Structure 1
Amino acid sequence: MEEKTFQRIKELTELQGTSGFEEDIRSYMRTAITPLVDDVQQDGLGGIFGLRHAAADKPRVMVAAHMDEVGFMLTEITPRGLFKVVPLGGWNPYVVSAQRFTLKTANGNYPCISSSVPPHLLRGTSGQVKVEDILFDAGFESKEEALAFGVLPGDTIVPQTETVKTANGKNIISKAWDNRYGCTVVLEALEALQKETLDYTLIAGANVQEEVGLRGAKPAVTKFDPDLFFAVDCSAADDLTTTNGTFGHLGEGTLLRIQDPGMILLPRLREYLLDTAATHHIPYQYFVSKGGTDAGAAHTANQGIPSTVIGVCGRYIHTHQTMFSIADFDAAREMVIQVLKGLDASTIKTIVAGK
């Protein structure tokens, strides 16, 4: 991996923005996308996309990451100055406690930690934890002091983590790889395609609010009306104890998602992806998921949009620390670039027609 790419990953993953509060990531994406496209447009919820225009009668292809990461929204300040929250996105309650966060307010950002109960005080109890039971602590001594610092219900709390490489140089540890992976790939693909002539209009960028119900994809595909939709997203690895009968193994290539609760990969689209991988010797692995992506929202939008995911897997997603493979990222990036290079109006027509 080139140092430029690692630095881009580090910058994007260390940025903080949970669902509905993606402004820092959107600003980064706007700055990076603008010199690579003909124009940049934003939908009503805040998704941002760069367009490379073809003739009006040419098909339209959309490549979409999502900007948001899982986090929390502050719902109540207790008399002692602690915070009750609701999760934004899916959290395992057992990974929330005793972690460092950033409390983002209109007055500025403040360090914050999540509470934990010492084992001494759990004796005689069930020991079970719910997110709603975990308090967040920014060190304020009262509700009045928190309010004086500008803290209000509706503020967000986001993980704080440094992005680093593992000792062997083969993996990276970060937060928010779901889905700053997609943001990184979109930028790298646009750079790689700068000198390519495309036989379609390319719409490439990132949606908002994916982690809270695939909300951002819906206005985006309505606005841009693509003929094909490619989500670029990170999924959960399942390889800690075995790779026999599980999906998502670090180091085995990009994910070819064939089914999840919201999407079935259409035959002609699968055929195109397999041909692309074989032609360019791109390692891939089949993937079946219990969770969905923006492709699930896109493919039933408008009059129906053939959609798929070009993904990577990561261990421990939706936590402070995700581990992912540099080789998998390289494979996914190459897959996105070659898929977009290989598409033309005739191929898109065949995929959409399904015959």
Structure 2
Amino acid sequence: MNADDRRFDVLRALVADYVSTNEPVGSKALVERHNLGVSSATVRNDMVALEEEGLIAQPHTSAGRIPTDAGYRMFVDRLHEIKPLTSPERRAIHAFLDGALDLDDVMRRSVRLLAQLTQQVAVMQYPTLTRSTVRHIEVVPITSARLMLVLITDTGRVDQRVVDLGDVITEDDVARVRTVLNNSMAGKRLADASASVAELPEQAPSELRDTLTRVSSVLIESLVEHPEERMVLGGTPNLTRNVADFPNSLRQVLEALEEQVVVLKLLAAARDSRTVTVRIGGENEAAELETTSVVSTGYGSEGMVLGGLGVVGPTRMDYPGTMASVRAVAAYVGDILAGR
């Protein structure tokens, strides 16, 4: 084993100890707890070298060392593969998410589960509507002059809107409106469906023109993104369990999480469902999050990424376990949405 590999083994052992104990780690403890195969003098020399490289640091009040952001980065970059979850863990994820009733329930369950698995804050972006396709539109008469429109997308999103017609409509005309809408919209991406709906009143038979004008204006509003609905967050109390991990910064971290735009920007980069992205400390663009690490990935179905999900926690986190949980939950969410 060359010196670089040996030093990395020392770094890896130090990261493991510090993550589990939250105490600075000394060379003696590393030799006692880990089978490093070298003397404590060698470990001490290796720790000096790691400190000179900026990978570990000595807190003022301690003889031990802690990993720096650069040390965590090297540790994460040299994780050759993400450890798979155990069979019971996979079954538990499946059972919990399979019980979801609709998209909103999938979202809520996913962040709750991810927060429980990682003991961090879980965040998840709603499926981006612009990437969705209209699966079906249902038209339900509420009264003789009022309709409910139910727009169902391939991502499992259901949007309901009520239309006041200002005039009575027959059952036959309701059926005609339903047929016209599905012929115009079904199978189209939402942007294309929106364009088609806008043209419907001009193409409609004269007796349906007023009805379709009102219906199309309501539908176009449904087809536009709703920015305020685009994220779900869970497990915020997990941050407050380890206040020491956020010296003088816990409040600003919590405020940043409430600013959905900040978190959505983090998740927007998670555009690949095959890769788990880890941003450590100062690698996060938002200054409020420079004491945190963000582990994220994309989720989707049939080769298309629909949104991002991940966790926000202290830089002192179980990176292998967190990465495995994020990847597993994203895979199951993609499977569920593909099956809806």
Higher relative contact order (CA closer than 8 Å, sequence separation 6+): 1
TM-score between both structures, scaled by the size of structure 2: 0.30
Q: Which has the higher helix share?
A: 2
